[in-house]
Amino acid sequence: MAPNTPRLVHPIDLKKKPWEQKLPLHNRWHPEIPPVANVQVSQVFRVEMVDWTGGVIRDNDAAEDVKSIDLSTVHYLSGPFKVLDEEGIPARSGDLLAVEICNLGPLAGDEWGYTATFDRENGGGFLTDHFPCATKAIWYFEGIYAYSPQIPGVRFPGLTHPGIIGTAPSMELLSIWNERETQLQENGLKSLKLPEVLHTRPLANLPTPNGCLLGKIQQGTPEWEKIAKEAARTIPGRENGGNCDIKNLGRGSKIYLPVFVDGANLSTGDMHFSQGDGEVSFCGAIEMSGFLELKCEIIRGGMKAYLTPMGPTPLHVNPIFEIGPVEPRFSEWLVFEGISVDESGRQHFLDATVAYKRAVLNAIDYLSKFGYSKEQIYLLLSCCPCEGRISGIVDAPNAVATLAIPIAIFDQDIRPQSSKIPVWPQIVRKPDVLKCTYDGNLPITKNHGGATSSLVPQSWQQK
Amino acid sequence: MAPNTPRLVHPIDLKKKPWEQKLPLHNRWHPEIPPVANVQVSQVFRVEMVDWTGGVIRDNDAAEDVKSIDLSTVHYLSGPFKVLDEEGIPARSGDLLAVEICNLGPLAGDEWGYTATFDRENGGGFLTDHFPCATKAIWYFEGIYAYSPQIPGVRFPGLTHPGIIGTAPSMELLSIWNERETQLQENGLKSLKLPEVLHTRPLANLPTPNGCLLGKIQQGTPEWEKIAKEAARTIPGRENGGNCDIKNLGRGSKIYLPVFVDGANLSTGDMHFSQGDGEVSFCGAIEMSGFLELKCEIIRGGMKAYLTPMGPTPLHVNPIFEIGPVEPRFSEWLVFEGISVDESGRQHFLDATVAYKRAVLNAIDYLSKFGYSKEQIYLLLSCCPCEGRISGIVDAPNAVATLAIPIAIFDQDIRPQSSKIPVWPQIVRKPDVLKCTYDGNLPITKNHGGATSSLVPQSWQQK
Amino acid sequence: MAPNTPRLVHPIDLKKKPWEQKLPLHNRWHPEIPPVANVQVSQVFRVEMVDWTGGVIRDNDAAEDVKSIDLSTVHYLSGPFKVLDEEGIPARSGDLLAVEICNLGPLAGDEWGYTATFDRENGGGFLTDHFPCATKAIWYFEGIYAYSPQIPGVRFPGLTHPGIIGTAPSMELLSIWNERETQLQENGLKSLKLPEVLHTRPLANLPTPNGCLLGKIQQGTPEWEKIAKEAARTIPGRENGGNCDIKNLGRGSKIYLPVFVDGANLSTGDMHFSQGDGEVSFCGAIEMSGFLELKCEIIRGGMKAYLTPMGPTPLHVNPIFEIGPVEPRFSEWLVFEGISVDESGRQHFLDATVAYKRAVLNAIDYLSKFGYSKEQIYLLLSCCPCEGRISGIVDAPNAVATLAIPIAIFDQDIRPQSSKIPVWPQIVRKPDVLKCTYDGNLPITKNHGGATSSLVPQSWQQK
Amino acid sequence: MAPNTPRLVHPIDLKKKPWEQKLPLHNRWHPEIPPVANVQVSQVFRVEMVDWTGGVIRDNDAAEDVKSIDLSTVHYLSGPFKVLDEEGIPARSGDLLAVEICNLGPLAGDEWGYTATFDRENGGGFLTDHFPCATKAIWYFEGIYAYSPQIPGVRFPGLTHPGIIGTAPSMELLSIWNERETQLQENGLKSLKLPEVLHTRPLANLPTPNGCLLGKIQQGTPEWEKIAKEAARTIPGRENGGNCDIKNLGRGSKIYLPVFVDGANLSTGDMHFSQGDGEVSFCGAIEMSGFLELKCEIIRGGMKAYLTPMGPTPLHVNPIFEIGPVEPRFSEWLVFEGISVDESGRQHFLDATVAYKRAVLNAIDYLSKFGYSKEQIYLLLSCCPCEGRISGIVDAPNAVATLAIPIAIFDQDIRPQSSKIPVWPQIVRKPDVLKCTYDGNLPITKNHGGATSSLVPQSWQQK
């Protein structure tokens, strides 16, 4: 072995369940989840990881696994790793932890992934009121490229990255999270005046012992009982990094994470072969198992030196990132725009979320004219290397968001043809994505275009 | 003259006021503003334009002009141009108008621009509750590069583009705009439960005869009186394109605009030497006078063929864009992240606007550690070629937005230094931006970091 | 005028001949050609220039002008400019002159250019033994794009640059040039054992009073007579920069030129709208008139500090270049390879010139299968943004050279189709380039492929 | 295993010698070397390979292994692979074989490589008359990055690629090779009038049974004896591809190889972690063991359809390449120029090899001013991602070649400083490359700069 061969600090056996791994996994953030290994600065180490569902979603011909998934069990993370400096002194609270992503990829023998949308009653996605059904597409990898039998005519190079990388929160930070998310859960609908239709989807995912996995802490012990009740879920990105889903965080990137507990307790998981900005379908990247080769540095006192809290406590900070120099290079982009007027025609005030939603809907409808189903494009825009931009955020009342799609990923020219109008329909791309019926209780209405179903209730549209 | 020398269809004399130009300008959208010239498909034509304020903001040593500006007069647009095909038949409602940007730049003899923030009581900007004062920085151009005496140590190549390009709305579309924006203006604060503090800033800018300029239609005529009362303001981007502020819309780009009236009636203005995604300071690009060389094509019936309405009428569509192949090329980026937790610590539900605000605040504070004032960075991030991304929009409750800044625009390495902590303060970048005092009535509070002033009232923070 | 508006130091009137310009041009390198203007460091100045032939080649439908051109008159340069520092002290011999290209482009009203090959008896080009005729294609510009009526189906953005930029040589350097080029002229054919066929083309272009233009020095004066006999021709690039033809020297580039005479005496000319690496057809870029906006800095003593002579005197140095950040961005390239085996099958020893010739011939033949004539492609590869690389220069006996062509410049997919073989012929691209018959005396033989004519005599092939 | 997991068709055991591998290697080109495996189109297969010397050069602290290496044994290739279509019908002579590089990298546990120059009497390199000694630098990989203890202060991402990929020649093609290279070997020095000094280095490497390895054909058999005498050496790239050393042939590239024998008999080897254009030091890339994941397609009749022979037979063709979309992205380059005047001051006629040599020498000397030794830079320019261009090949008598170096690979700013002249020497980069003394017989002379030793004899310089 070469002297610098990465040391494998967290191996994964894909034939075993997440809770059967030799080094146990965890799916919560908590300061008391014990490290599974020590890592030293300047040394490259290798971390393997299961896909975010721990193998629940399979390479098969049905979407039932997507429909019935229990989201209280995700995301399974590898680690935590305790980070030591050259003298063996751990990172300390107040330091910055610089983590370089030296290499990454799928696990050998497991070169596939999936993109999916959840059922509207089970989390849905960004466009769940238009696409309430659970759907799934399988992707196979040919080295840097991915293709899907369910989305024919598309192939693209992945910008592979970890969806989740973060340090353990301190108890103080954990309390802040739980408090603010509880407040949202309790008062959010009322205060935000969201339409009733959204009630089916939780506004926040609060701590729950259901599905909780805490690494070395054995289920059933008093310690487990205590931690399971207060440990934060992994769904949102937060001050510790976590599920930041930054699509450009590929090979050569460097992440500066605040350290809240001694040792930093770095965890990572949720590998994405590729993701579009926004990860719109929610289970939206090309989700896969994989490995990371990482190298750490400790910047002593770096939190104070580099991060200014943007909130009421010194813990209200965010990580900083440097993007790596190796990315797929696209030269031609088709760009869709959205403004903060929703599908009912209602005007919102500088709301980038509404604007981006409309940009994505515009793109889906446009591309469906080229023979794809809308479901194919929804999944595609969630996982291909498209860019979602906040183009204008000041020109009241319209935020302008844009979605830029690299033209080269299609096997046809998807630009408008100025010489002549194409005759519809184009070649229909078959087979389609794998689907499950939506059997929820909420009415589905149609918007003007006739093409897109909308669940936004009439009452809200009239407001 | 070469046979393809662009024909100048809208000349500007910079020594004259907007209303004194030979071909008159307009600052409203209305179907009845008459074209100033015809242009034919496949022929390159040249359009000159004043800066968006029509010369109100000057290359001087004070910010008083910014503070006292009357925003009812902006943006002064060149055009409208009636677009004809090879046989002289005009573009018709329902067509798509493809406009290629062949070339663009500043006007000879006027190679400078400005970036500014408005006073909080006069429109403010994205961070007006942190930066309530009117400020200004002057930029000088050296070919592709811009530098500012008020922001020393920074120089960057511009990705020059028109902030505004659009077609005239039909009366039906105009009514939709006025109705929905009036609704927001009247009910927005209540329904959105926005904090009172925002009352100083209009939620929408409704039609007003004040400051209204309508091209060939003479002020004082009955026609003028009628149109001035119903013509839409130019501030927001809308279905017709308009103020879309897409920073990558440079040389070689192509814009597919819906046509709502016969002839299309294309107008353009608000040239930006450079802009960052979001244009956060509002007067936020490097604003300048300039010229465009354009070439049009008509895609007959293209609206139906390519655009699906995302709203209650067939007019609820948005333009599509192709980005040009010539852009400044940056390889190294430092990326700041924000989540949808505001500065008071309050949790918002997947709100990309809040997340982006926090990303921008994080970046400002970080960069201020390198010797710049916060005001310098606020203006800089508004106009330099930084990218604002919606990274994650599904991981409830946190939207994750990122702001990526090209490292090469600084004359120092602005990355965190992992080997040692720099000793603060660094070289202070003097002189600073030009400022005016804020003399509004609203209290200013401090956030934890002590560095940033916040105007968000306590009552709202506690919610 | 803005305070930084570039000062026009060398205006051109396109209605006048090169020798009639208000500030006279020159077409030779000599220390005693007097400066036409002073320029100061840090100040942007504007230089206008005629095309390299001074208007001899016209935008018309024939190639006679190309066939009969007198090459003793080219290239017409603007300048020289004497460069002073802030205190007015001139650049001195031994300094480095850093010249930044702030901006450049065609002259207004003259937005066209041409690419041509000369007749084999009048200089020819890189492939003159295959293409002995004079040919011409006219290019029209649409902003950043160029297209040619003679090469239909191709359009590309230019990477505009000056073909020539250099400082005046000292008398000592001039003597070195004249001596070594005279030696080559006299002994070259013999010592290099070149085939007789090349005798028609001069190995070097030695000083000649024919066609000589010396700026402010009036023809007929004794001074003129003396200088005309010793002034170096401008064809080759040399130690002073000169005709370096570096295609990437566009906006934002910086050139570090050695200073050999007091004041530096900077000259420039030969604007190229676009050029391919190698400029293979000789009159091979898209040649045009144009302007440069430049800014100078003086690095005192910089020659000694930064340049080490690679030859018998301290003057045997070469300039250094920094490439600008704004270039057309291509993502997909088709690459042709050549090895140092010539068309007769003869093996050469690590000869990159032979290898590159074969790569270019391979590319021409390949692309001619897509409906273009070989002459169209020869001109195209000379002026489009293709990259010519020395890929391997050590694997005896074969040098490997490659020619990479951006796929996006064609309106068809020019990659080999793996699914099926296209049926030839494809659409023939008409009209063709403008041509003149070759009426020289040398025999033309055919190579195996039957498609390419070769002038290499049999005797040489057998060696 | 996922259904598309690449099938390993040629495994390597790094603990064994090249001739001990389970599937035997070969180091010659010959139609009768039997395939080791069949591969089918559309299926991804994995090929492992030793480094080009088969483990002779080691990760140690000395350069003796480089000095004493027996070059008759290189390069050890994996394969040949017989390529079949979906129906099992082999590729046939006259087809094109499209080979896609899906993935590649170092072998796990062997993450290191080396760059070296050979002793002048044993092959030397491009600059052997300046650098006659054997030298070596070891590189360690950290994922995409490489760094060398012998070249401190430099780190860069690799653009990893196979140096050799090719199909087997037919007997007819093999005869052409042997004949033309024999002619060069016998008559080259005389006809080219090369200086005597080059006699030490073979002009070509003719077939020799010494060190010959022929895959499944056992040494000592009559078959072996016959083939060993006629099989072509692997050093040069030729019509079959082979050692083309194209640095951009990384992930996602596609190579169109002519097929000369049934089954195509594809072989590959000589993995490079990174290489500069030209691979100037000869053992010049970062040489390593590694793996490729490949996918083939057969274009029936593709040779005739796409390749035109450039020589006396239909076999005189060259492969075509498509470059992949994933490369390290550099924005800032420093460019060195060379013209075809050699170090003795002698003028050559449009000789790109001489021009490139001078460009490389210029770059070495320049960078040595920043504290590096010349030997460090020589090795660095051989293996870092620098670009070698033929900029001008028509401006008689000077070819202009350029060498562009990405600035970001250095930990200091290597641009000329215009504000002030740096004080030499800078920080000396220690330790230096590993060296062996040169003990050949030829005199070493000094050129003017005093810094560079030259072996070009005076007699030749005077010519």
* Closest chain C CA to residue B45: C142
What is the per-residue pLDDT across C411-427, written as a single tens digit (0 to 9) for each? Answer: 999 999 865 545 455 67
CA contacts within 13 A on the Cβ side of D442: 24
Instruction: Identify whether the C-beta of residue A262 lies closer than 8 Å to the C-beta of residue A105.
Output: no
Task: Over range B434-459, report the average pLDDT.
Answer: 53
Per-residue confidence band for B458, with pLDDT thresholds at 50, 70 and 90: very low
Q: Does the distance separating the beta carbons of B389 and A388 come in below 8 Å? A: yes
| pLDDT above 90 for A461 | no
d(CA A259, CA A265): 8
Average pLDDT, chain A: 90
Residue pair A191/A263 in contact (Cβ under 8 Å)? The answer is no
- The average pLDDT across D127-148 equals 95
Measured CA distances, D434 to A304, D146, D150, D155, D381 (Å): 44, 18, 7, 18, 16
Is this model's pTM higher than 0.90 or not?
yes
Give the tens place of pLDDT for each residue, B348-405.
Answer: 999 999 999 999 999 999 999 999 999 999 999 999 999 999 999 999 999 999 999 9
**Chain D residues 158-197 with a CB less than 8 Å from chain C:** 176, 180-181, 183-184, 187-188, 191-194
pLDDT at B194: 52
Amino acid (one-letter) located at C257: L
pLDDT of C452 over the 50 cut: no
Q: Would you state the pLDDT for residue A457?
A: 34
Check CB contact of B111 with chain C, cutoff 8 Å.
yes
Q: Do D327 and A324 touch (CB under 8 A)?
A: no
Q: Which of residues 190-219 of C touch D (CB under 8 A)?
A: 191-194, 201-205
- Higher-pLDDT residue of B444 and B57 is B57
Locus of tokens 């909080």: B120
Task: Mutation target for D interface from A326, A329, A331, A409: give the one with most D CBs within 10 A.
Answer: A326
Q: Does C281 touch chain D (CB under 8 A)?
A: yes
- ipTM for the complex shown: 0.93
Q: What is the DSSP letter of C400?
A: E
Predicted confidence band at C2 (pLDDT cuts at 50, 70, 90)?
A: confident
Instruction: Report pLDDT for D300.
Output: 95
D417 pLDDT tier (thresholds 50, 70, 90): confident
CB of A240 within 8 Å of a chain B CB? The answer is no
- For residue B163, the tally of other CB atoms under 10 A from its CB is 27
Q: How many other CB atoms sit within 10 Å of the CB of residue C109? A: 11
Q: How far apart are CA C336 and CA C359, in angstroms?
A: 6
Least confident piece of the model among A322-326, B425-429, C90-94, D110-114: B425-429
Structure tokens of D282?
């000869």
pLDDT at D24 exceeding the cut of 90:
yes
Residue A174 DSSP code: H
The letter for the amino acid at D41 is V
- What is the pairing mode between strands C237-238 and C161-166? unpaired
Return all residues near A3 (Cβ < 8 A) that are at least 6 apart. Answer: D59, D112, D140
Give the whole-angstrom CA distance, residue C45 versus residue C102. 9
Predicted pLDDT of residue D199? 56
Backbone angles phi, psi at C229, to 5 degrees: -75, -25
User: Residue B455 pLDDT > 70, yes or no?
Assistant: no
Chain B CB contacts of A387 under 8 Å are: 387, 389
B382: DSSP letter: H
Give the pLDDT score at C456.
37
Task: Assess contact for B357 and B278: CB atoms under 8 A.
Answer: no
First to last CA, chain A: 68
**What are A295's strand-pairing partners?**
A100
Query: Which pLDDT score is estimated for A123?
Result: 83
Predicted pLDDT at A198: 55
B235 CA: distance to closest CA in chain C (Å) = 28
Of the candidates A72, A71, A27, A78, the one whose C-alpha atom is nearest the C-alpha of residue A227 is A27
pLDDT tens per residue across span D374-412? 999 999 999 999 999 999 999 999 999 999 999 999 999
D239: confidence class by pLDDT, cuts 50, 70, 90: very high
Mean pLDDT of C429-436: 92
Question: B interface mutation test: which of D155, D159, D331 has the most B CBs within 10 A?
Answer: D331
pLDDT at D446 over 70: no
* Coil, strand or helix at B238: strand
- Examine the pLDDT at B76 and tell me if it is beyond 70: yes
Fold of B7-322: Jelly Rolls (2.60.120)
Of A338, A369, A370, nearest in space to A354 by CA:
A338
DSSP run (H or E) holding A374: helix A374-383
Average pLDDT, whole number, for chain D? 91
Question: What pLDDT sits at residue A68?
Answer: 92
* A183 phi and psi angles, rounded to 5 deg: -55, -45
pLDDT band at C460 (very low <50, low <70, confident <90, very high): very low
For residues A96 and A260, what is the distance between their CA atoms, to the nearest angstrom? 9
Q: Output the six-digit token pair for B450.
A: 């002590």
DSSP three-state, residue A187:
helix
Tokens, residue A446 = 């149609």
> Which chains sit next to C, with 3 or more Cβ pairs under 8 A?
A, B, D
Q: For residues B119 and B132, is the Cβ–Cβ distance under 8 A? A: yes
Residue D197 has pLDDT above 60, yes or no: no
Three-state secondary structure along chain D?
CCCCCCEEEECCCCCCCHHHCCCCCECCECCCCCCCEEEECCCCEEEEECCCCCCCCCCCCCCHHHHCCCHHHCCCEEEEEEEECCCCCECCCCCEEEEEEEEEECCCCCCEEEEEECCHHHCCCCCCCCCCCCEEEEEEEECCEEECCCCCCEEEECCCEEEEEECCCCHHHHHHHHHHHHHHHHHHHHHHCCCHHHHHCCCCCCCCCCCCCECCCCCCCHHHHHHHHHCECCCCEECCEECCCCCCCCCCCEEEEECCCCCCCEEEEEEECCCCCECCCEEEEEECCEEEEEEEEEECCHHHHHCCCCCCCCCCCCCEEECCCEEECCCCEEEEEEECECCCCCECCCCHHHHHHHHHHHHHHHHHCCCCCHHHHHHHHHHCCCEEEEEECCCCCCCEEEEEEEHHHECCCCCCCCCCCCCCCCCCCCCCCEECCCCCCCCCEECCCCCCEECCCHHHHHC
pLDDT in tens, B301-351: 999 999 989 899 999 999 999 998 888 889 899 999 999 999 999 999 999
Displacement of CA A82 from its chain's centroid (Å):
25
Q: What tens digit of pLDDT does each residue of C51-64 get?
A: 999 999 999 999 99
User: What's the whole-number mean pLDDT along residues A15-27?
Assistant: 96
Residues of chain C above pLDDT 90, percent: 82
Distance CA D304, CA B21 (A): 65
Q: What token pair was written down for A193?
A: 């005046």
Closest of B463, B75, B58, B61 to residue B267, by C-alpha: B75
The model's pLDDT over C287-346, given as tens digits with 9 standing for 90+, comes to 999 999 999 999 999 999 999 898 999 999 999 999 988 888 898 999 999 999 999 999
pLDDT of residue D355: 96
Q: Which helix or strand (DSSP H or E) is residue A166 part of?
A: strand A161-166
* Contacts with C, D 397-456, CB within 8 Å: 397-402, 404, 415-418, 421-422, 424, 447-449, 451-452
User: Does residue A129 have a pLDDT over 90?
Assistant: no
pLDDT at A449 over 80: no
Domain ranges of chain B: 7-322, 333-461
Residue A42 scores a pLDDT above 90: yes
Rounded Cα–Cα distance for residues D331 and A418 (Å): 34
Averaged pLDDT, B107-117: 97
Place C192 in a pLDDT band, splitting at 50, 70 and 90: low
Question: How would you class C15 by CB atoms within 10 Å of its CB: exposed for 0-12, middle for 13-18, buried for 19 or more?
Answer: exposed
Instruction: Annotate D412-429 with b (16+ C-beta within 10 A) or e (fewer).
Output: eeeebebeebeeeeeeeb
State residue B417's pLDDT score. 83
Lowest-confidence pick of A322-331, B452-461, C129-138, C214-223? B452-461
pLDDT at residue C450 greater than cutoff 70: no
Average pLDDT over residues B445-455: 37
The answer to whether the beta carbons of residues D261 and D31 sit under 8 Å apart is: yes
- D125–chain A nearest CA distance, Å: 28
Contact indicator for B95, B103 with CB cutoff of 8 Å = no
Length of chain D: 463
Q: Which of A45-59, A211-225, C185-199 has the lowest mean pLDDT?
A: C185-199
Tokens of B82: 């009636």
pLDDT digits over A281-318, tens only? 999 999 999 999 999 999 999 999 999 898 899 999 99
Whether the predicted pLDDT of A341 surpasses 70: yes
CA distance A363 to A8: 42
**What gap in Å lies between CA A285 and CA A63, rounded to an integer?**
16
- Quote the pLDDT of residue C441: 65
Distance (Å, whole) CA C302 – CA C305? 5
Residue C404, SS3? strand
Verify whether the Cβ–Cβ distance D408 to B329 is below 8 Å: no
List the 81-110 stretch of C: residues with Cβ below 8 A of D. 96, 98
Task: Kindly report the number of other CB atoms within 10 A of residue D68's CB atom.
Answer: 12
The C-alpha atoms of residue B374 and residue B379 are separated, in whole angstroms, by 9
Instruction: Find, in chain B, the residue whose alpha carbon is nearest to that of C155.
Output: B252
At C442, is the pLDDT very low, low, confident or very high (cuts 50, 70, 90)? low
Closest to A197 in 3D by CA, of A71, A341, A373, A342? A342
Nearest to A306 among B238, B307, B366 (CB): B366
For range C358-362, the mean pLDDT:
96
What local confidence, expressed as pLDDT, does residue B171 receive? 98
Instruction: Tell me the pLDDT tens digit for each residue of D272-325.
Output: 999 999 999 999 999 999 999 999 999 999 999 999 898 999 999 999 999 988
Q: For position D450, what pLDDT does the model report? A: 33
Identify the pLDDT of residue A93.
97
Per-residue pLDDT, A422: 52
pLDDT in tens, B137-180: 999 999 999 999 999 999 999 999 999 999 999 999 999 999 99
List, for residues D57-105, the tens digit of each pLDDT value: 999 999 999 999 999 999 999 999 999 999 999 999 999 999 999 999 9
Q: Taking a contact as any Cβ pair under 8 Å apart, which residues of chain B between 320 and 349 contact chain D? A: 329-332
* Residue B3 vs residues B42, B43, C56, C108: alpha-carbon distances, Å: 13, 10, 18, 12
Minimum Cα–Cα distance from C330: chain A residue: A331
Q: Indicate the average pLDDT of chain B.
A: 90
